[in-house]
Chains A and B, each alone.
Chain A
Amino acid sequence: AQSVSQHNHHVILSEAASLELGCNYSYGGTVNLFWYVQYPGQHLQLLLKYFSGDPLVKGIKGFEAEFIKSKFSFNLRKPSVQWSDTAEYFCAVIDRGSTLGRLYFGRGTQLTVWP
C-alpha cells in the first residue's frame, strides 16, 4: 500500500515569505500526484496535479509543485505567501497501476500566514 508523508505539520510564516511544503510517497511505480487545499470552514479544493509531462506543475493562486521521481517527492512551493493562503494543505497520491483507484493522503500541513 502507498503511504504519503508530509513532513511539516504546522508552518508559520510572515507575508511575503517563501513557502515549501514537503511531500514524499512510498510507491515506486507510476503515480498521479495532487495537492489539495482546505481553507478555514471550506471544503477541499484541488490546488494542482501532476499526471505526466513537465515535472514542474503550476496551479492556482501562484502555487507550483515539482515532481522528482528519483526522490519520490512532490513538494509544494510559493515564492511569496499571502495572509489568504492560511489553510491546511494535503498531498495525495494515486497508483496508476492499481485497479482499485484509491487516493492516499498525507496527514496535512497547517499553514498560518501572519500579516
Chain B
Amino acid sequence: DGGITQSPKYLFRKEGQNVTLSCEQNLNHDAMYWYRQDPGQGLRLIYYSQIVNDFQKGDIAEGYSVSREKKESFPLTVTSAQKNPTAFYLCASGFTGTGAFSGNTIYFGEGSWLTVV
C-alpha cells in the first residue's frame, strides 16, 4: 500500500534520553515535514525538507534534529534539550514544484505519541 508510515505509534521516554521517530513514505514525494500537535495549539512546524540532504527549521525546531539522507525517509530526533517533548508528532509529505504545490496536496501519517516519564 502507498502512504506515509510513522513508527512507533506510542513511545515512552525517560527524561534526559534522546528518541528518534521514524517517517517513511513510498509516494515519491519530494517534500517531507514534521509537525507537533498539542491541544488547543493546532499543528506547529518543527522541520521540513524539500530535497534530499537539505532541510529547514520550522517554528519550533529547538530541541529537535532531523536528517534527509534518502528521499523516502525523514526521521525526527527529540533530544533531551526539548523542554516539553510530550506530544503527538505528525509526519507529512507532498510534491514540490513550480507554483508551490500547484495542484498537489500534503498528506499525513497516522502520528506518533511520545510521552516523557
Choose one: A42, A46, A92; the contact of B107 (CB below 8 Å).
A46
Choose one: B40, B45, B56, B96; the contact of A107 (CB below 8 Å).
B40
Interface centre among B41, B45, B100, by most chain A C-beta atoms within 10 angstroms, is B100
A92 contacts which chain B residues (CB < 8 A)? 106
User: Given A44-B90, A46-B105, do A97 and B100 touch, yes or no (CB 8 Å)?
Assistant: yes
User: Given A43-B108, A46-B107, do A106 and B96 touch, yes or no (CB 8 Å)?
Assistant: no
Q: How far is the CB of B46 from chain A (nearest CB, A)?
A: 11
* Chain B interface, number of residues (Cβ within 8 angstroms): 29
B106 contacts which chain A residues (CB < 8 A)? 34, 92, 103
List the A residue with the shortest CB-CB distance to B108: A44
A9 contacts which chain B residues (CB < 8 A)? 40
A106 contacts which chain B residues (CB < 8 A)? 42
Interface centre among A6, A45, A49, A103, by most chain B C-beta atoms within 10 angstroms, is A103
Choose one: A90, A96, A97, A102; the contact of B48 (CB below 8 Å).
A102
Q: What is the interface residue range for chain A against chain B? A: 20 to 34
B110 contacts which chain A residues (CB < 8 A)? 42-43
CB-based contact A102/B42 at 8 Å: no
Choose one: A34, A101, A102; the contact of B105 (CB below 8 Å).
A34
The 6 closest A-B pairs by CB, nearest first: A107-B42, A44-B108, A43-B110, A105-B43, A96-B100, A108-B42
Q: How far is the CB of B89 from chain A (nearest CB, A)?
A: 12
Q: How far is the CB of A7 from chain B (nearest CB, A)?
A: 13
CB-based contact B45/A102 at 8 Å: yes
**Chain A contact surface mostly:** loop
Please report A residues at the B interface, Cβ cutoff 8 Å: 6, 9, 32, 34, 36, 42-46, 49, 51, 90, 92, 94-103, 105-108
Chain A proximity mask over B76-102: 1 for CB below 8 Å, otherwise 0: 000000000000001010101001111
B102 contacts which chain A residues (CB < 8 A)? 32, 51, 96
* Cross-chain pairs A/B with CB under 8 angstroms, 9 sampled: A43-B110, A43-B111, A96-B100, A97-B100, A98-B100, A99-B100, A100-B56, A102-B48, A105-B44
User: Given A101-B31, A101-B96, A102-B48, do A96 and B101 touch, yes or no (CB 8 Å)?
Assistant: yes
How far is it, in angstroms, between the C-alpha of A91 and the C-alpha of B67 when the chains are bound?
28
